[in-house]
Structure formats: C-alpha cells, structure tokens
Amino acid sequence: MAVRQKLYTLFLALFSIGATFTKVSATVFTLQNSCSYTIWPGINSGNGAAILGDGGFSLSPGATIQLPAPPGWSGRFWARTGCNFDDAGNGNCTTGDCGNTIKCIGGGAPPVSLVEITLGNGASGDSAKDFYDVSLVDGYNVGIGVRTSGGFGDCQYAGCVADVNANCPSELQIRGGSGQVVACKSACLEFGKPEYCCTGDHSTSDTCPPTDYSRMFKSACPTAYSYAYDDGTSTCTCTGSDYLITFCPAS
C-alpha cells in the first residue's frame, strides 16, 4: 500500500509539472511561403507583446520559418510583396509596407490580407483559449490561411484561398508597375463612407449590414472577415495549439 501511495504521489507531481509546462510553454507559429515568388512577412505585436521575427524578414518560395510566442501574445501577420531593401534594410514594398524598413514599424499599409491572433494566458476556461481570424476588412493582397496543430476545441481552419485580385472590381483595384492587379482595396478604404467603414451613424451591427462589396469578399473567402461586424462566421478559437500560417495556400 505504501508503494502504491508513493507511486500515486509521484504521478500527481509529474502531472502537475506537465500542466505547468503546458501553461507556460511557447506557442509556435510556422510561417510558410507557398507563393511562387518571394514575400516579406510583416509582424505587428499588440499590447506591449514581444516582437516576433524582429517584425519582418524575407521568405523565399517554399521556405518556412518557426517563431515561438509567449502565452498572452497578441498581434498580426501579413505578407508584403514587391519589396526592395538595401543592405541596411531600408526600402519599400508595393503592398503591405510598414515604415520603409524590412523590420516593420507598425502595421501593414492597406489593402492587405491579415491574420489576427490573441493567445490565451490562463490555465482553463476562456482565458486559456486562443482567438484568431483572417481579415479582409483592410482589403486583400495575397491568399492566406491558418491551420491549427495539436490543440483542442473547435480549432477550425481560417483563411482566404481564392485569388480575390482576379475578380476585384475595377474601382477597388491597385495595379503594379507592369499593370497587373496586386491588391484589392476595401470599400471603406476607397470611398471612406460611414456605411462602408461602420462609423458614425453606422457604428453598430444593426446599422452597418453587409454591402455588395463586402459580400464580394465573403463570397470569395467564406471563413474570413469581410467587414467590421462579420464576427459570426469569422472568429475562431482553439486551446493549446501551434499554428501554421500559409501564404498563397492551395485551394
């Protein structure tokens, strides 16, 4: 009986250590470039959280990079395209620019496709949940997707696989130097009207319904945010997961 009691006590101790490790261990973000061209991921941390990957770097086609983040981390990921930087890291990008430097200062200039995520910082309940989404509220530049690994809960896939640039209305198009469409603006960015930006008299979900423009984004990418009050089908949760963020994911 004494031996069994000692083994049980040891089991509880090991379980406690494991639970503690789970609570404080880092979440790993794996960024994967499935585009046929080099991108420059940008990363913006919120609420004083640690800056991952120095805020930005280049990622060649087919390459991946892993970035650990502490519990409670909150921030955004996006792709910059058409970038030119000198040896000192100064330069600019055609889309997603963030301060004319390879190491981002602030968020990416719209239009840009975003991954937004806030990691849980508790041991149980809602405080342990991660909240994440793919947002086209600021427009679109490249396809982007988020897949969970090793977590539990709903843990659904979030992403925008469709090439929105190919079907972007002419009034929302951003064209590159060779004339190709490189990004698609949101109606808010293009027109600045309250009914598109959900501001002023249109600042609630009741007064800011979907528009023809936001429906275009939603039709192309059903699991992504298409406008400010698109929470019902676009906010995802998971607990204890690592995350694969893929740029230009396959359909």
Beta-bridge partners for 115: 77, 134
pLDDT of res. 124:
61
d(CA 120, CA 10): 29
**Which residues are bridge partners to 152 per DSSP?**
239
Spell out the domains of the chain, with CATH numbers in brackets: 26-247 (2.60.110.10)
pLDDT along the chain (251 residues), means of 10: 41 38 72 97 90 96 97 96 96 95 94 96 75 96 96 94 95 92 97 96 95 95 92 88 96 70
Q: What is the pLDDT of residue 4?
A: 42
Alpha-carbon gap, residue 158 to 102, rounded angstroms: 27
Of 69, 74, 71, the C-alpha closest to 23 is 71
Question: pLDDT value at position 233?
Answer: 77
Q: Is 61:37 a contact under the CB 8 Å cutoff?
A: yes
DSSP 48: T
For residues 147 and 218, the answer to whether their CB atoms sit within 8 Å is no
**Closest C-alpha to 176, from 86, 65, 92:** 92
What whole-number distance in Å separates Cα of residue 199 and Cα of residue 78? 25
pLDDT of residue 49: 85
Specify the pLDDT at position 125.
59
